[in-house]
Amino acid sequence: MDDYLMVLLRTIEVIALLYGLLIILYTIGWYLLKKDVSIPPSQGTRVSVLIAARNESLQINHILHGLLGQDYPSSLLEIILVDDHSEDSTAEIISAFIKDNPSINITLIHAKKQGKKAALSEALARASGQFVLVTDADCSIRKTWVSTMVAIYRHQQVKLLLGPVMIEPGTQFFGRLQSLEFMSLIGSTAGASGIGFPAMANGANLGFDRLAVAELGEEALNDRHASGDDIFLLFAMLKKFGKKSVSFAFHENAVVKTGALPNVMAFLRQRLRWVSKSSGYTNIGIVLPAIIVFVFNLTFLVLLGMAFFYPYLILIYLLLILFKFMIDYPLLSGVCSFMKSRKLLIWALPLEIIYPFYVVFVAVAGNIAGVSWKGRKVK
């Protein structure tokens, strides 16, 4: 048994080194990103903002008023909202807003098919802008969001622009953990892009060239999976146009904010939905990092389980937690500074202890169980 234990420990060492190398690369990528100090004018770029909404009556006003207050020329901006068969007053609120604000070009359509992907596809079919922005109905945006995303798109001349997203932590412990955990995802998204291997995207803040997406055809959204409009679009862009066609919008004026989920069950349902699309991943740039992260976090659970028989493994477990904290901290620190939320870093160590349990559970359950999202089953 001791020989098997030594093999296990050597394997954990290799996995830890691979994880450390991966996060170091993402950290380097993050710090390689440069903020554009000068924002060029729009130069006549017509923009379409697409938003799919379902049962967002409590949140929809935030994004509506955010769009109303944009500093981008209204003559170059169109907004298309799609009601995805809401069972509350979402559509009525949007209709009333449109009626009260005739000065802006905003349209509400009712989705024919069900699901966010179908709703966005219907909106995209009506869009006329050269540059298309997508965000979620429960988000809030700065008045500079459109102008900043357009400026970076023009300056970097890319086909797909990955935007920064922040979960507002609120005052509760769980909200702060959510915010910090999500910053690690955004840091990895930006860092992967910074080293030239974009591997993640977030549909709450995304911009793309409309004609480029038209060239992708059915591959753009991958209708075989219930979620993943963001990541499958990224994969299709990389396959068609190469990694230089994708960039990250590294500017605080481009940040989109969303609220923390109210409880653990709501959080797990969201993450299970995100993971449910992973069976459709074929890009090695995301499959390999995902495997490394999953297996590394699994080692913590393995060590804790075996510590019942070999108590000294608790020391190795604690050393591995410390190793993970030291590897993760520089990237977390950079993202927290960017988001002006450095106070959240005091929760970094508690997050490191909780994170392996959550990652392993979600990774396994998300691939074998269906989940409910906004009153509908997600297969």
Q: Tell me the pLDDT tens digit for each residue of 348-366.
A: 999 999 999 999 998 888 7
**Looking at the domain assignment, is residue 271 inside a domain?**
no
Instruction: Give residue 302's pLDDT.
Output: 94
User: pLDDT at position 221, please?
Assistant: 60
pLDDT of residue 300: 96
Domain boundary at 198, 230, 262, which?
A: 262
User: pLDDT digit string (tens) for 220-250?
Assistant: 665 555 555 688 899 889 989 999 999 999 9
Number of alpha carbons in the 13 Å side-chain half-sphere of residue 233: 27
Q: Kindly report the number of other CB atoms within 10 A of residue 246's CB atom.
A: 25
Same domain, 161 and 188: yes
114 and 234 in a single domain? The answer is: yes
β-strands 106-110, 77-83 pairing: parallel
Which whole number is the average pLDDT over 256-279?
A: 83
Integer Cα distance of 101 and 124 in angstroms: 23
Q: Do 346 and 253 reside in the same domain of the chain?
A: no
Residues 6+ apart with CB under 8 A from 145: 66, 70, 133, 253, 254, 256
Joined together, the tokens standing for residue 271 give 């993450």
Cβ neighbors of 208 (< 8 A, separation 6 or more) are 131, 132, 134, 159, 160, 161, 233, 237
Q: Is 146 helix (H, G, I), strand (E, B) or coil?
A: helix
Q: Residues near 19 by Cβ (< 8 Å), separated by ≥ 6?
A: 292, 293, 296, 324, 327
- 202, 253, 273 from 52: Cα distances, Å: 14, 23, 17
When pLDDT is cut at 50, 70 and 90, the band that residue 346 belongs to is: very high
Arithmetic mean of pLDDT, 30-37 = 79
Residues 255 and 297 in one domain: no
Domain membership flag for residue 267: no
The predicted pLDDT at position 222 comes to: 52
Q: What is the mean pLDDT of residues 196-219?
A: 89
Structure confidence at residue 271 as a pLDDT band (50, 70, 90): confident
Indicate whether 9 belongs to any domain: yes
Chain-centroid distance, C-alpha 313: 35
Co-location of 205 and 292 in the same domain: no
pLDDT at 291: 92
Q: Are residues 91 and 53 in the same domain?
A: yes
What mean pLDDT is reported for the chain?
A: 89
Of 199, 229, 262, the last residue of a domain is 262
Domain residue limits at 229: 35-262
**Domain boundary at 228, 262, 296, which?**
262
Task: Say what the pLDDT of residue 294 is.
Answer: 93
User: Tokens 């974009």 label which residue?
Assistant: 198
Based on the structure, what is the number of domains in the chain? 2
95 within a domain of the structure (yes/no):
yes
Band of residue 375 on the pLDDT scale cut at 50, 70, 90: low
**Averaged pLDDT for residues 151-175:** 92
Residue of 277, 284, 289, 278 lying closest to 225 (CA atoms): 277
How much is the pLDDT for 242?
92
Are 57 and 183 contained in the same domain? Answer: yes
The per-residue pLDDT for range 286-340, each reduced to its tens digit, is: 888 889 999 999 999 999 999 988 899 999 999 999 999 999 999 999 999 999 9
pLDDT of residue 219 exceeding 70: no
Residue 278 lies in a domain: no
Confidence check: pLDDT of 367 > 90: no
Cα(228)–Cα(177) distance, rounded to whole angstroms? 24
pLDDT band at 56 (very low <50, low <70, confident <90, very high): very high
Task: Give a yes or no: residue 177 inside a domain.
Answer: yes
Whole-angstrom distance, CA of residue 216 vs CA of residue 229: 13
pLDDT digit string, tens, across residues 83-142: 998 999 999 999 999 999 998 999 999 999 888 888 999 999 999 999 999 999 999 999
User: Read out DSSP for 82-136?
Assistant: EE-S-SSSHHHHHHHHHHH-TTS-EEEEE-SSSSHHHHHHHHHHH---SEEEEEE
Backbone dihedral angles phi then psi of residue 187, each to the nearest 5 degrees: -60, -40
**Is there a single domain that holds both residue 314 and residue 340?**
yes
pTM given for the model: 0.91
Quick one: pLDDT at residue 270? 83
pLDDT at 148: 94
Same domain, 287 and 242: no
